[in-house]
Structure 1
Amino acid sequence: MELTKKNTSFPYWKKIIFILTAGWIVIWIYRTALTPIYPIISDYFGGASDAQLGNISSFYFLGYVLMQIPSGLLVDRFGKKTILIPGFLLFGVGTVFVAMSQTLGTLFFGSVLAGLGCGTFYGVAYSLTAEYVPENKKSLSTAIVNSGTAVGSGLGLVSSSYFVGKGIIPWQYLLLMTTVLVGVMVLVFWKNILSKKPQRKEATEIAERQSEKRSSLKDLFKPQMIAAYILYFSTLYTYYLIDTWLPNFLETERGFQGTAIGLASSLVFFTAIPGALFFSRIADKIPHKKITIIILLEIIAAGMLLFMVETKSQSLLVLGIMAYGFFGKLAVEPIIISWLGQFAPQKSIATTWIDVNKVDTKRADTYR
């Protein structure tokens, strides 16, 4: 059933797509903003070691993974809006702690808080799209939502490389500006995300569906679900390897400097947007070929990653970065998720997406 806001003909599911996309943009601006400027942060804290710098992201993902399963269960039990707004407020508080830190200990604590807050978003985002987006629009809609991660990543990398790297603003100001964006998103969530209060007829239909498809632990470990977990693990591991490793690799191994590091790294994310929209559109038009499309994209992305590592030419490396973005994680993820939706237990949809996404913390952090 298509849900619309009162006194407007604009479908609610389309509004959800725009809101969730904006949410990912804000989260990923924070996630990537510090990576290109670790040397500046090291100097600020009196010469922090590579291991200590690596702990900035490690503590963020510690908080993120600790919130994954609890947030999924809470969303399924209490509703999306009830969990989403406090989660984003906690994200904002953590960002302020990081920005105002005078010691590494305080910075790590703020990173954990930010991770805990962001950990509430994933289950909400994909349970909303699974619940409200029409079936024939799911892959494309998920791709649009995921494009927020690409836009946010690119903005975070470029803005920190340029504004902070060139000494235009201190790195703390960049995080405080991110906090303002977090506050804006909280207002958007509060005003536009509906607190679902089913009418009697709808509640009866939901109860009947849930009684017919009572979820259990076994539902999360069907062969199709296990295959998706393994595939998604590999996809996300590679993507976050790129996210954490690429800026350092470009600087230390391939001679990129200054703003060029952020610009080259951001190409992964910006070229991912047209790739995600293109392949998701194809998957929606030929849904019986989703598995074939997924396998082909994974093979091509793996080949592009190998090419990036092996080539010594900066020009060819940039082409490899763009190709990986086009064929990589953001292109294949919406198709995996829409395919997985056929097998996920509907009563525990948020918990299922969280279960698949736990791999976020299994990232290769070259700074540790």
Structure 2
Amino acid sequence: MTISMAVQSGFRWKARYTVLSILWLGWLFSFLDRMVISVALPFISKDFQLDAASQGIILSTFFAGYALFQIPGGMLADKFGPRRVLAIAIVWWSIFTSITGMVSSFAVLLFCRFIFGVGEGCFPGASWKTIATYFPPKEKATATAIQGSVNTLGPAIASLVAAGIIAAYGWRTVFIALGIPGMLVALAIWVYIKDDPSKHPHVTPEDLAELNAEANVMKAAQKSDGTGITFKDFLKTSVLWQMVLIWFFFDITFWGFISWLPSYLMKVRGFSLLQTGVYGSLPFFVGTFGMLLGGYLSDRFKGSRKWLFIPAAMVAAFCLYLTFSVAAAEMAVVAQCVSAFFMFVAFAAFWGLVVDSIPAEIMGASSGTVNFGGQVAGFVSPFVMGYLIDLNHGSFDMAFMFLIAGTVASVFVALTVKSSDIASS
């Protein structure tokens, strides 16, 4: 009886879910590989005798390479297909993750972080291109939120893994070890993911019919709205640059928050390394629920996505203020968790808007352009925070105010987005 009801309900595991699972693993290791540096930073700074500004430069150097290759990576995925871009990118950054654990000087560390960022920079546009190709419009925001959950789980797991390995074996070992699993994910991408769903052996005719039917409706809506189909034409639309600005300001907060949180907990709140691993992971585990909820709500309220983003971002900013202003360390952790929850609701709402607004043919380059804005913020934010911390003699208060200003600015830009500018809303 139960099996019969399940069959009648029509649910079955589809090839696109496996594709999404592999992409999710790729994103997970991209975040693990890039975020362990945040936990290792106090120990790296001790070995190399670095002040806060120099530590900020280490964090920012990754984003220089990462930002520079957002658009080229997306364009390569549009031209040659996402499969080979995804696989090569993972192999590239996995190699330089391991090399990071072997560096002997500050200059070599900066070089490795930059080249590491170049490899990771090719991955986002190709992954969004894959989602746009395999998922019908009604599922894109949810699929993107599931993929985006690694933005929360990645830092959380990185905090726990890095703290445990560093405590037992030192900071170098954690980088050397994390370079290995990415190779297996790259192999899975190469074997299972195809550039064209119609050539995938596990994509059924029913899947293709569903995909093509909804895609044709979306294309018709885009043409009737005058939305450009070519990347060159889309560059002329105001909504693309509004999304770039929103993501730039929002990521000022996001990257500053996750890059400096471990140092803040250890230096200001007095947590030990292992306590930092546990308490530093909590906001991101909580944020995972926010990300999934935001994706679900984003798909249910397509025309109102910005009104999901705006209040969530403002609550996140207020709780970020509480993070550094409350006296008790335990309350600071609670404030961080609440801030992270709403930050990632806003995160999911925003990217639901992005992937549903860009035609699949130009998803790689266009989403890479949007993400470029965020990664420029990733370059700016950690360095500016380090400078503000040094300027205020180790106090994080002004650095946190800088993060809050970024969120508020993203809200003001979001208010200028008109629903008529969004292709699919």
- Give your verdict on TM over 0.5: yes
> What percentage of residue pairs aligned between the two structures are identical?
22
SS of match in other structure, 2:61: helix
Query: 1:230: Cα distance to partner?
Result: 2.4
Letter aligned with residue 22 of structure 2: I
Aligned partners of 1:341 and 1:151: how far apart in 2?
A: 21
C-alpha separation between the residues in 2 aligned to 1:87 and 1:133? 22
Q: How many angstroms apart in 1 are the aligned matches of 2:338 and 2:371?
A: 24
Distance of aligned partners of 1:197 and 1:342 in 2 relative to their CA distance in 1, 3 Å threshold: closer
Q: Is the 8 A contact 1:17 1:141 kept in 2?
A: yes
Runs of 4 or more above 4 Å deviation: none
Q: Which residue of 1 aligns with 2:41?
A: 38
CA RMSD after TM alignment? 2.5
Q: CA deviation at 1:96?
A: 2.4
Aligned-partner Cα distance in 2 for 1:185–1:148 = 15
Would the alpha carbon gap of residues 37 and 193 (structure 1) be closer, same or farther in structure 2, given more than 3 Å must change? same
The one-letter code matched in structure 2 to 1:317 is A
The question of 1:356 aligning with 2:370 is answered yes
Other-structure match for 1:180: 180
The whole-number CA distance in structure 1 between the counterparts of 2:79 and 2:335 is 44
Deviation per CA, 1:78-98: give whole Å up to 9, x if none: 110121212111112211221
TM-score (norm 2): 0.76
Work out the CA distance in 2 between the residues paired with 1:70 and 1:361.
15
Per-residue deviation, 1:295: 1.5
1:290-340, CA deviations, whole angstroms, 9 ceiling, x for partnerless residues? 222122211211111122122122121111111011110x32223222223
TM-score normalised to structure 1 length: 0.87
Q: Runs of 5+ in structure 2 lacking a partner? A: 1-11, 200-207, 388-425
Cα distance between partner residues in 2 of 1:331 and 1:138: 16
The alignment status of 1:143 with 2:162, answered yes or no, reads no
Q: Select which of 107, 110, 113 maps to 1:108.
A: 110
Return the alpha-carbon distance in structure 2 between the equivalents of residues 216 and 155 of structure 1.
Answer: 36
- Hey, what's the Cα distance between the residues in 1 that align with 2:319 and 2:50? 34
CA positional deviation for 1:197: 8.3
Aligned mates of 1:197, 1:162 — CA distance in 2 = 41
Q: 1:324 aligns with which of 328, 339, 363?
A: 339
Aligned AA for 1:11? K
Query: Distance between the aligned counterparts of 1:79 and 1:216, measured in 2?
Result: 16
Structure 1, unaligned stretches of length 5 or more? 1-8
Rounded Cα–Cα distance in structure 1 between residues aligned with 2:269 and 2:361: 49
Shift of residue 273 of structure 1? 0.9
Instruction: Report how far residue 129 of structure 1 moved.
Output: 1.4
Partner of 1:190: 190
Cα distance in 1, alignment partners of residues 305 and 251 from structure 2: 19
Count of equivalent residues: 351
Corresponding position of 2:165: 163
CA drift of 1:345 comes to 4.0
8 Å Cα contact 2:124/2:368 also seen in 1: yes
Q: 1:59 aligns with which of 43, 61, 71?
A: 61
103-112 or 180-189, which deviates more:
103-112
Give the letter for the 2:101 counterpart. A
3-state secondary structure, aligned to 2:361: helix
The within-5 A match list for 1:1-368 is 10-45=13-48, 47-164=49-166, 166=167, 168-196=168-196, 213-328=228-343, 330-358=344-372, 359-363=374-378, 364-365=381-382, 366-367=385-386
Query: Partner amino acid for 1:15?
Result: T
CA distance in 1, matches of 2:308, 2:197: 38
What letter matches 2:196 in structure 1?
K
| Number of the residue aligned with 2:396 | none
- Provide, for residues 138-172 of structure 1, a one-character-per-residue CA deviation record: whole Å limited to 9, x for no partner: 222211111122222111112222331x3x11222
- Whether the aligned pair in 2 keeps the contact of 1:29 and 1:152 (CA below 8 Å) is yes
Instruction: Tell me the distance in 1 between the aligned counterparts of 2:371 and 2:138.
Output: 24
